[in-house]
Each structure stands twice: as C-alpha cells, then as structure tokens.
Structure 1
Amino acid sequence: MAATPTMLVRSVRVRSEPALTAPHSRLPSSAGWVALGAIAVLVLAGLGLRLPTHAALSIAAAVVAIAAAALMVRSDGVLVFGYAVLATAGVGVLGNETSSNIGWFSLCVVAACCVYVGGPWIGLAYWAGTITLFGIEWTFLERDAGWGAWMAGVTFTALAAHQVRQQRYLVAQLRAAQAGLAQRSRAEERNRIARELHDVIAHSLTVSLLHVTSARLAVEHDPSDAARALTEAERLGRESLDELRAAVGMLRQDGDPRDDARGDARDQAAAPMPGADALPALADRFRTAGADVELSVDGDLRRLPATAGLAVYRIAQEALTNAAKHAPGTLVQVRLIVGPASVRLTVESAGRPVRGAGSGLDNPDPGMGLGLVSMRERAELLGGGCTAGPGGRGWIVSATLPLDVRRRGAAAS
C-alpha cells in the first residue's frame, strides 16, 4: 500500500547520537610516514656521531629503533607503548652517556606518537619512563645540563600532542553534533510537511465526500440541489489544491532557478496560510456540506501571531473533520476565546474516534488516525497544549496556546 501523508509522522523518529569517547586510533597515513621519516633521520644522525665506537652494537641499536618505530606508527592502543619502549631502548644505546647526541631528539617524536595515538594515560606512562631514563643518565653517567633540555623537550612535545589530540576529539564531537542537528532538522521538517498534507487532504476529502453524498441523494428528487453540491465539491477541490500547492511551495528555497522554469511556484509559496480569521469561512464550508456547526469568537483575533492563528485554524479544521466523519448530522460547537496571555479553542461534538476513544492524546492507539497527534504537536511546538477525550455531549477537543513569543519559546525549550 502506498504511504499516505499521515504515515510520514509515524515513520519519523529522531535518534540520539551515542556519546563519543576519545578514540584510540592509528596515526593518519601521512602523519605516520612523516613521524617514521623524522625518527629514522634522527636515529641515523645519532648513529653517525656514535661511529666508529662500538660499531656493531650501535648499528644494531639503530636498526632496532627504526624497526620499532615503523611498527609503532602502524599500531594502536597498548601496542604503541610496547614498540615505543623498544625504540627508546635502541636510542638509549646510541646516545648512552652523551647528552649532545642528536639521536635523543627522536624520543620527542616517539612521545608525541604515544600521546596522540595511545591517549593521556599511555602517554603519561611513556613520559614518566623517558624522564626517568634522562634522570639516570644525568645523575649517574654524565653530569650535564643538556639532559634537562631533553626532559623539557619531551615534556613539551607530549603536551603539544595532547592538545592536538583534544582538538581532534572536539572537532569529531562538533561534527557529530552538527550531523545530529541536521538529522533532527530533517525529521522535524518531514513532520511539519506531514501535518500540512494530512490537514489539507483529510479536510478536503471529507467535505468533498459530504457534498458528493448530498448530490447522490438529491440527484433524483432535486437535480438543482445536486448540481449545487457538486459545484461546491468542485470549488472545494480547487481551493484545497491551491492550498496544497502553497504548503508544498513553502519548502522551496528562494533563488532556486527551477522556480523560474516552473512559473508561479514562488507566488504560490508566498500565498498566506489560513489563520484564525478564516474560521468563519471554515464553518460555512462545513455548513454548506450539511454539517451543523456553531462558531463563537470572543476577543480580538488581530492579537494572534500568524503561527498561533495557523495552529488554531488547523486544529479546528481537524476537529471539525473528525466530527463530520464520526458524528455526521450532530451539532458541533466551536468556541474561540482570546485572553490577555493565551488563546483557547474548544470544539465539542457528540462523536468520538472509532478506536482509542479512551486514550486521549497522551497515549493514542496505533490504529487511530494521526490527526489527534498532529493537533497535539501543533500546540506543543508553540508552547501550548491540546487534549481530546470524552466530555460534555460526547467528545471535546481543547487547545490552549500562549500569545507571548517569549513565553512560547521558554515553554517549548
């Protein structure tokens, strides 16, 4: 079965994004090659300063350091720490008892890799081990202030890598938040479209069917009355089609070149949506279709903002449509009261939804039409509320909307 506009409301659900945790990921490929190249160059430079003394041991230490570094830049998590320790051991053999050996500089690069990939705790463990190594060299093997410079260098690069990692994490959080907002915006827009389509189509079909039924019953006994009913149904169909085009046209962006090719799309989009001042015409439309509708308005409708006026109109439209479907021929009373801070709409009839009658709006039965859900959503989006349930002579729909923009924003948030 093809999806109807009301099905869109049920199909849209906004899913919350899972909380991000700091990633233990590998280095990006380009960064890994740069880090490995830097370590290799520094280790080879240190090897050149070490030769020809202990040539075999020094070459072996350089090979171990470079090989461990190559594995480190391609690893993640705890493995990074293990390969970093192995690379540090090789560099320690090359620069043993010599603070001026440039090979020690490679440990700054190794420390940055540990922090960036492994995270703060692995980075802290490596930093503590490296500082301990430098402290032993300074205290027991060569009393040279140069060891203090290496301590400062490793500390600085570790902190810098931590900042880069944090920035990367914050950027990932920001992108996830943006994606969530975009998804939520799309869902809200789809729900808004579904509400407009449901209200326009359900109302026009219901009233048109009333006219067609009236024409069918009168075609044999009063052809003129049947013709009048069919003419009214045709007029209503054209009017509803224009309203539907206006609702869809609101979705088009200004400046879309396709609008120029399609003629009056922008003019239709700019057409004003109905407001509370259109309630008398709405009541007359149902009366001409054979419904018994009484409308009373208390207060100045000009005080209603456009958004509140549209919500009042759509809620009344949906309530009258439901009454026409479920309680045809009974009296429907529509009362609108514009107070100092809010507007209250009440629609009372002798009918009620076929299923889920006792559930109201808080727990709508899955089998019910989504008109009641649409009314509730319209009211809640403006910071108000809408209820529907048994009462009075049968069924009462009651909606209250605040008039103050700031109060609406505070309530909605």
Structure 2
Amino acid sequence: MPEPSDAGPEPAVSAGDDPRRYAQLLSAVYDAAMAGEKMPARPRALIGDSWDRVLDAGVDPDAGAGIPGLDRTGIETGRHESGLDAVLDDLTRGLDSVIADGDNILVVADALGRVLWRSGSTGVLRRADRLGFVEGADWAENSVGTNAIGTALTTGRAVQVFSAEHFVRTHHSWTCAGAPIRDPRTGEMLGVVDVSGPAATIHPTTVALVDAVAKLAESRLRDHHRESLDRLRSVAAPMLARFGGPAVAVDHDGWVAALDDVAPRARVMLPSRAAPGRLWLHGLGECDLEPLPGGWLVRVGTAASSGTRIELDLRDSRTPRLAVSGATGTWALQPSPRHAQILALLAGNPGGYSAAEMSTRLFGVPDRTITVRAEMSRLRKHLGGLLAANPYRFVDGVTVRVHPAASTTTCGADRSGAVGSPTFGT
C-alpha cells in the first residue's frame, strides 16, 4: 500500500501556460516514447514513472488491458463495502462548482480503481460512455494505463493527468484530477474522488480542490466513526455494569467503544464474518459474542452463552418492534414496516432466500434485486451479526419468535415453525 505523500498536488499545466500548445508538445513526447525514439522533452516524473509501470504491466496503448469491471450486483456490493457511501454527499457538495457548468463529471472509485458512482450532465456522461468510463469499469493503472484514478491509488497522492499524459490514446482528449481517500482509523486506502472532462476544461487549481475535498471526506469519516462509537457506548454501558465480568463493546470492525475489567485497547481483531456465539480472539482468549445495535458485546472467559433470542412483534403494523436478548440484557429496535416484513420472511424460512427470491416475495417479481440488496444492507447495519448473506437468513444459534399481526392465525412461532408474513407498505 502506498504511503501518504507529503508532496502537494502538482497541476499538469501551470497557470499562464497555453494548454493547447502544451497538449501538442505532450502528443509529440508520447508518440516518441511509444515508438522508442528520442523524445522532444521529458514527461513529468510522475507521468514517466507511471508509463514505465504500465509498460511493464503490458497494457496496450490502443486498447488498454480489457480487465472486466463490476456488474450491477458488484457495484451495489462495492458501494456498501467501500465505506465511502457515508461521505458521498460531502464529496458532491464540495465539487459541485466544478461540475455545475456541465463540462466535467464527478467520479468516486473504490480502492481497486473500480468506478462506484459518477454524476454530471447528460452530454459529458455520454462522452464518458464512449471511453468506457462508466459505473463498474476498472480504471486501475494495470487496466487502462496512466490516469488520475489509477495513478492516485498507486502513488498515494493527488494527481492531475492532462491530454497525452494518459497512456491509452483514446483518453488524450480528456483531463482528470484525482485524490485518494484513506480510512482515518487505519490509513488504508478506501478509494479515489476524481473530476474528469474534455482536455480544454483543464484548470491548474482543480487538483488542489479535489485534494481538499478528499481530506474533508476523511475528516467526516473520522466524525462518523466517533459518533457511532458514542451511540454504541450508550447502549453497552448499562449492559457492562449488569454483567460484572470482563467484557468489551466493539463496533462491527472491532473498534472499542467501552470496556470493563479488560486491559485498555483500541481495537479487537474480529473474524471477517463474525457471528453470535463462542470463539477465540487474539489477546482475549475464549469469548462469547452477543450482537448490539452497531456492533458486538464481547464477553471474555465466560461460560457457554445461552444464545441470542429475538422477539419480533408485528401486532401493530404501524409500529413493529424488535427486541434482542442475551445473557447480559435486552435492547430494542423499531424497524421500518419494510424491514419488519423482511425479518418476518426470514423467520419463516431458516434456509433463507436469494436476492431474487426475496424480490419475488416482497414485490411479486424477481428482478428488483438491487432494491433488495440495498434494504438488506441498511438492515444489516443494525443487525449485522444476526443476519447472514448468500442466501439471506438468520445466523445459526439465534432463536427467533414472531408475534404476527392480528389478521394472521398464529399468535407466535419460532423460526422453525410456520410464520405468517403480513404485507406492509414500502
């Protein structure tokens, strides 16, 4: 992973220079470099280094490497897993002035260079379509050569790429400025924010603005993390007091919100697919995991847990309620009617549902899978440790009891029994 660079963003064209004349020079430099001939000038060190990497990777200057991108399902998954959806509005507001004239597009890519979001006028989006600069496309250096997204990821710094500085010839009519966004907790790369448009729109201050907006997004991510830990702490504190044994409250990534009778630490390393129950954790030993809204209660060195129990009360369809109970206490959540409907469906089928099957159950057609995945993503932010995917289902070891609406004949059923699935509004 590239280390953060102390070098400030370097504009491709200095203030006062003639972009047209510079583009002509770059074209001559590029043609000579690709032909292995003496160049009339040297490219910027940033660009020359990138060309060397791309040539070593075997990228075709006429076509790129043709690496497949993400399909619609992959895009939705990538958006959720990138961690950037929380700051998308901040990125858009910060760069709105650059794309307001309709000549540029705003793009957000993940840590692998795959385009997750883009916005701009219809005209410039159509021009981007012709370059394959679409949602899901791979714009890493080893896929499409030198460009602001891939080169920012490789170098770990904000970059501006102009005209024939792009490695692939079809990109020479464009300019782009991109800046990396890092996880403020770990320093790991989350992705890149990029502004791209026709080469004639280049401005030397754009890369500095994009870099500033990326740093603002990192600051907002830091704020979001602090706020989520505060919310988790408010729920976990009374549970820790009741339990009276060594325990830690952590978010889904293992960051510590509160602890009792445990040596201070900033993070607990959880398995990638943590689930309620007993497991061994480095530095803590044998532990029991119980779900909390927004994280986990980790009970250290306890006897075997009696398991997690869920009560889903649908008797008042306007205000469905959910209560989660464990050995240390109970916490409650008021799900939306749609989420209550989903939970009731899952309670009635321990084997779970695919996204298409869930779409059919919810909407009567199998093709609204994107909506299903978005709803499940929101629901798992509250109940992540209780819900599994592929297929969507409650995790093993969790007991679910449903109190159906009055219109159904069953007053209550556990997840192994027949559960009525009342229909709610969206």
TM-score grouping bracket, smaller chain normalisation: under 0.3
Give the structure-2-normalised TM-score: 0.24
Higher helix share: 1
Task: Identify, as 1 or 2, the structure richer in strand.
Answer: 2
Computing the radius of gyration from Cα coordinates, the structure with the larger value is 1
With the length of structure 1 as denominator, give the TM-score of the two structures.
0.24
